[in-house]
Amino acid sequence: MNCKAALPMLFVFAVAVGQAQTSTPSSLPVYQVVKPGVSDPEASALAKRLEIPDAALVRARGKISFVDAEKYLAFPSAPVAESGVTRRLREATKNKSAATPIALKAIDARALDEWQVLDEKTALNAATSTLDALRLSPQFGTATAGHNVLTMYSKDGTGKWSAKNTQLDTHVSYKFSESHGIPLIGPGAQVHLTFDASGHVTQLHYAARSLKAGAEVKILSEEEARGRIAQRLPAKARITMRLVYWTPPLEPVFGNAESWRPATIIPWYAYYSTTEIAHPSGAASSIRSRVSMIPATDDARFVPTVTVSATADGPQVRAHAEVRGGTPPYTYIWGGSDPEVSHNTGNEIRYTARTRAARQLLRDSDFHLRTNETVAVTVIDANGVVVHGRQIVPVQPQPIMPSNGAHGTGPTYGAESPDDPGNWTPCRVGWQNGMSTPGAGGGTQSFAWLGGDAWPGDFIEPKPAGTLVSTPWVNGDADFANWGINTADLVIDIADGNADTKTAMQPGAPTSDYATAFLCSPNFPDDVGINGNGFGTPKSYTIDYAPSWGPTGPNDTLDWLLLDDCDMLDPTDGAGLNVAQRWGLAFNGLHVLAGFSSLDYGDGPFENAVANNILGVGGSPQTIVQSWFSAAQSTGAGTAAAMGPAFRLEGNLFWMADIQDYYWGKGSVGPTIVPSAFASGDIGFWFLNGSNANTLVFP
C-alpha cells in the first residue's frame, strides 16, 4: 500500500459494525431511570463476595470501580541486575521527579511459556453467579469472555520478525441490548470483571442503571438520518449507521455535579464513515472515522437544539448560544482557536482568536494565516443529551509566537486535536480538566494545538534538532520550543487514523475542511501529505522521521504518547505488517505508545478517565497502560492497545521494558530505551491488546 492513498481527504472513517437493524421502527420508547447504579450496601456486599477490600473500592454516584495495581495486566517479571548496560540506560533517562525511582524490570520470557489463565467458562460462571446472588445482574446485559494478550515481537539472525502471544488474564464484559434488540452503549452501560489464573479479581467496573420503558417518541427514518449525517461528511463518504441507546455517565465530567441526575435514556443513531482515497499511482485505501452520534428523534421534550451567533472584529470574537428544548440546566463547552475559551461555562464568550506562528514563518509564502474562525459549542442537558452548534466568522487572528523553550523540571503534558473546535472539543477538554485537577500533580500544560495548528510536523524531529526548519508543518518541529510532541512528557493525540496513518491539519486550513493533512508510519515512502478535502492541490512528501519520538534530543521530554485515534494499533495492517514494523521505527526513547485496535469513540468521559487514572484522582494512581485500558473499558471507548520497546537480556530469557511505567511522581518509571542505540537483534517490542471488542457497537 502506498500511504499517499490513505491521504488526508479523511474526515470520514469507518468502523466494522455489528449487524444493523433490518428495518427502522417508526417509534421507540424513552427509557426512564428507575435506579441509578449500585447502592453503598450493594457495593460493600459485592466487594466482600469478590474479596476486594471495601476501602479499595472507588464509589461515585452508583458507579464502582477497582484496580489491583499489582495484578491487573500482570505478567511474569524478574528484577534486572546492574551492569554497564543498565547504567547506560539510567544515564540516558531524564528523571522529572526526585521521588520517582528509575526501575529496572524485565518480562520473564521463559515464564510466559508456562503462564496460566482462568478458562472462559469458569470466569463467566464466577462473574454471573456472583452478580446473580446479589441481584446485581445488569438489566439487558449478556456476559462474554475474552483475554488481554501480550505479544513479544523480536528479530532472528536474518532480521525476520517473530511473534510470541500470551494470554495474560480472563476478562468478562457485559454486552447490552434492550428488548427491541437495540444496543445500549456508553459509560452508563459498562460492567467488567478481570480475573487472574487463581480467580482473583484484578479489575472491576460496574456502571449500569435499572430502566423501564416510558413514552414512545417518533424515530427519524434512516433516510432522513443519513441525510443529516451526510451534511457533516465529504461527498463520497460511505456511512455505516445503526440505532442505539446511548447511556450517559453516572458521574458527570462537565458542569455542576449537583444537577447531574439523568432520568431518561433516548435513542440515537451511531455512525462512522468510510472514505476511499485514490492516488494517481493507482493505489487506494480506506479510512474509518471515529464513531459519532446524532439523536434519533426530534422530540423537543428530550432533545435540545442550539443556535450559535458569532461576530468578530479583527482578532476579537464574541459568541452567544441559544438553547431550546431538552431538560435544563444546560452545560456549555465552548471551542475556539484559543483552547482557554473552553473554561467559560456560560452561554456567552469573548476571546481573542489566535494562530500558531513564528516571525520567519510570517515571511514564508507557503505559510498561510487563517482568515476564518470556527466558533463551536457543545451543549449537554440535565439528562446527558449532547448537541453541537457552530458558526464560522471572518477573523484576523493574533499570531502566537513560540516560547523560549524553557520547560522547567516538573512534569508536563500536551494535546493535539485537529478536528477542534467541533464535535471532539469535549474530548480535549475532558483530558485537560483531568490533568489540571488541583493538587493532583498533573504538572504544566506545554501545548494544546487545535484545528489548523495541529500539524503532521509536530510528530517529526527536525534536522538539525531543536531548530525551526523550512515548512515545519511538513519537515518537523517535534522539539522546537514548546511546539511538537517531544516537548511534553505525556501527550494525547485526538484525531482519526487507520493502521498506517493519522490525520492532522496545516497552517491556514479551516477546521470545516478537516482533515487536510496526514502522517504515515515511517516505513512508507510518502510520510506526510497536505492539502486535502478540497483545500488546495494535494501534495505528499518523503520525510525520514525515523527515529523521532522520545526524550533524547536537546529539547525532548516525551515519554508517553496516547493515540486517541481509530485503528492505529491494529495488530496487522492490510499488507500484513505488525505494529513493531509499522511504528517501531518512530521510537527514539519513547516508553509507551497507547492507542486502539478498533474504532474509537469518545466525548470527554474516556479522556477524562485516562487522566484521572494516571493521577489517581478519586483513587490510587494507575500505570500509564492500566489507565488507558481501564478507561477504555469503563466508557466503552474501544479496544485498548499499547506497545513499547524491549531490550534483550541473557539471550531470549528476559526483556527489559517500560510497560509498568507510572507518570512522574506517581510511581516507578523504567529506563529510556533507544532502539537505534543497540544492535537490532537486541531490541524487540511488546504489544498488549485488549479483550472487549465483542461489546462494541461497531467491533
3-state secondary structure string, 202-266? EEEEEEECEEEEEEEEECCCHHHHHHHHHCCCCCCCEEEEEEEEECCCCCCCCCCHHHCCCCEEC
pLDDT digits (tens, 9 = 90+) for 517-532: 999 999 887 889 899 8
Strands 497-498, 501-504: pairing is antiparallel
Per-residue confidence (pLDDT) for residue 549, from 0 to 100: 98
Q: For residue range 442-494, list pLDDT tens digits in order.
A: 999 999 999 999 999 999 999 999 999 999 999 999 999 999 999 999 999 99
Residue 181 is placed in which grid cell? 434488540
CA distances from 456 to 1, 277, 494, 525, 537 (A): 20, 18, 13, 15, 17
Percent of the chain with pLDDT over 90: 75
Is residue 254's pLDDT more than 80? yes
d(CA 680, CA 432): 38
Kind of pairing between the strands at 592-596 and 560-564: parallel
Of the pLDDT bands very low, low, confident and very high (cuts 50, 70, 90), residue 313 is very high
Mean pLDDT for the stretch of residues 37-44: 96
Q: Residue 100 has what pLDDT? A: 84
Tell me phi and psi for residue 179, to 5 degrees.
-65, -20
Torsions phi, psi for 527 (to 5 deg)? -90, -30
- Which of 223-237, 494-508, 596-610, 612-626 has the weakest average pLDDT? 223-237
Cα separation values, 397 from 314, 319, 400, Å: 7, 16, 9
Interval 588-595 mean pLDDT: 98
Between β-strands 63-67 and 58-60, what pairing exists: parallel, antiparallel or unpaired? antiparallel
pLDDT, residue 231, reads: 87
pLDDT over threshold 80, residue 579: yes
Instruction: Enter the DSSP assignment of 413.
Output: E
Instruction: Report, as an integer, the average pLDDT of 589-595.
Output: 98
Other C-beta atoms closer than 10 Å to the C-beta of 362 total 11
The C-alpha atoms of residue 313 and residue 560 are separated, in whole angstroms, by 40
Look at residue 4 and tell me whether its pLDDT is greater than 50.
no
Question: What pLDDT sits at residue 11?
Answer: 30
Predicted pLDDT at 276 = 65
Q: Is the pLDDT of residue 172 over 50?
A: yes
Confidence of residue 284 (pLDDT cuts 50, 70, 90): low
Is the confidence at residue 5, as pLDDT, over 80? no
**Mean pLDDT, the chain, whole residue set:** 91
If you average pLDDT over residues 532-551, what whole number do you get?
A: 90
Segment 300-324 shows an average pLDDT of 97
Average pLDDT over residues 666-689: 94
464-476 core/surface letters (b: 16 or more CB in 10 A; e: else): ebbebbebbbbbb
Per residue in 112-144, pLDDT (tens digit) is 999 999 999 999 999 999 999 999 999 999 999
Give pLDDT, residue 13. 29
**Paired residues of 606 in beta bridges:** none
Number of helices and strands (H, E) in the chain? 11, 39
What is the reported pLDDT for 18? 36
Under the banding of pLDDT at 50, 70 and 90, the label for residue 12 is very low
pLDDT at 124: 98
Helices 425-435, 605-615: inter-axial angle, 10-degree rounding: 20
Residue 220, C-alpha cell as written in the block: 427519524
Other beta carbons less than 10 A from residue 562's beta carbon: 25
Of the pLDDT bands very low, low, confident and very high (cuts 50, 70, 90), residue 15 is very low
Q: What are phi and psi of 503, to 5 degrees?
A: -90, 160
Residues of the chain above pLDDT 70, percent: 94
pLDDT tens-digit map of 56-103: 999 999 999 999 999 999 999 988 888 888 888 888 888 888 788 888
The residue length of the chain stands at 699
Q: For residue range 177-234, what is the model confidence (pLDDT) as tens digits?
A: 999 999 999 999 999 999 999 999 999 999 999 999 999 999 999 999 999 999 888 7
